[in-house]
Amino acid sequence: MSQFSYQDGVLHAEGASLAAIAEQFGTPTYVYSKAQLLANYASYADACAGRDALVCYAMKANSNLAILDLLARQGAGFDIVSGGELLRVLAAGGDPRKVIFSGVGKSVDEMRLALSHDILCFNVESIPELHRLNEVAGAMGKTARVSLRVNPNVDAKTHPYIATGLKANKFGVAFDDALDTYRAAAKLPHLEVAGIDCHIGSQLLDDAPLLEALDRLIELIDKLGEEGIVLHHLDIGGGIGINYGEAGEAAPVPVGDYLGRLFAKIDAWRAARYEGKAIKVIFEPGRSIVGDTGVLLTKVEFIKHGEEKNFCVVDAAMNDMARPALYQAWMDMQPVVQGKAGALTYDVVGPICESGDWLARDRELAVEAGDLLVMHSAGAYGMTMASNYNTRGRAAEIIVDGEVCHMVRQRENPADLYALESLIK
């Protein structure tokens, strides 16, 4: 059940009016629902109850410290892709022993940082990375726990920019090379081979590709076991999608249904071929936890009628929400106040000096200057992909808890943006 609903004709986040939020905090502003966030996390945690499983939130989706803190308090681990993200986890009170470090280009400094905090595991994506990590760990007198991110060459049937499991993608070790790579890892003195990982893509509405990828991982685990390389965990990644509200859009697979099918497959395999050995299951969900927890609240600056198009010019822009310009993503737009007559078809655009600066195209809206709009399902890949293009400060962030609004990130001003710059003297 969504925590964003109309009450007496005004859109609310839980018990707080978005019109009142705009008046108090200004626009553009990201507004998140605490209740929705916790409910989304619980859909994973409840399905994992009684099992040796760990939900590692993929914080690239949204890395606000308050969100990380709320999830850490629920027992979440974290999937990180940079040293900066690890520092965010620590600042939010997260447990580094529940952190997995993914990414194709980990630097020496990032490896040292992660080893110094004894993270759970490195998801290694190449043989050169294995050797670098072995050298760094040896120099520190430590042993690095590793899993290999295996590329199963499974088509996730998603946008090509967010597909990660095909042969042509930069991620992971090719499936056909994985066995030899595991053999090489097992011989390195400062590495402990701990698990196997894959992630085939994002915004998956069907779990069939994920279950196909699991079959390939199980096949490889069996081969490794025959050579005496026994793994302690299986990381199936993330990628479950959400609904963005487009007409005819397929409904996303319910998290509980997907995890039920996945655990059934794992249980059958362990009973038949893995001889009952224990293996932890790790998940890396991001969008499905935070995506529908947030909206982007924006104000209409001008209505512009062109020869071929009508434009609704708002104060949010592609620097605030990059997904439409980057992926041609469809995201639902609604007025904060219902009931106005005289709807026209508009492109909703921002003030940035680019024709690619658009948030929505061909939308039926009854709006005028000064009105408020929201972009729904904006909790994932909104603020984390935001930029300061055109010297625009990034938006404020608010978390609503019932009727109480908490500012969890202040709006940037121009002085913040050039504070690190200096003149030549």
356 assigned ligand-binding residue: no
User: Could you tell me if 152 and 213 are in contact, meaning their C-beta atoms sit under 8 angstroms apart?
Assistant: yes
Is the N-terminal amide bond of 28 cis, ω within 30° of 0?
yes
pLDDT at 414 over 80: yes
Distance, C-alpha 282 to centroid of its chain: 16
In percent, the amount of the chain with pLDDT more than 90 equals 84
Q: How confident is the model at residue 156 (pLDDT cuts 50, 70, 90)?
A: low
pLDDT at 364 over 60: yes
Least confident of 105-109, 156-160, 277-281, 353-357: 156-160
285 assigned ligand-binding residue: yes
Q: How confident is the model at residue 277 (pLDDT cuts 50, 70, 90)?
A: confident
327 assigned ligand-binding residue: yes
- Amino acid 350: pLDDT: 98
- Amino acid 275: pLDDT: 67
30 assigned ligand-binding residue: no
pLDDT at 348 over 50: yes
**323 Cβ contact partners less than 8 Å away, ≥ 6 residues apart:** 329, 331, 381, 382, 385
- Amino acid 163: pLDDT: 46
Global pTM? 0.94
Backbone angles phi, psi at 192, to 5 degrees: -115, 115
What is the CATH topology of the domain spanning 103-283? Answer: TIM Barrel (3.20.20)
The CATH number of the structural domain formed by 4-31+292-417 is: 2.40.37.10
Active site (catalytic) residues: 353
Domain-wise residue ranges, the chain: 4-31+292-417, 103-283
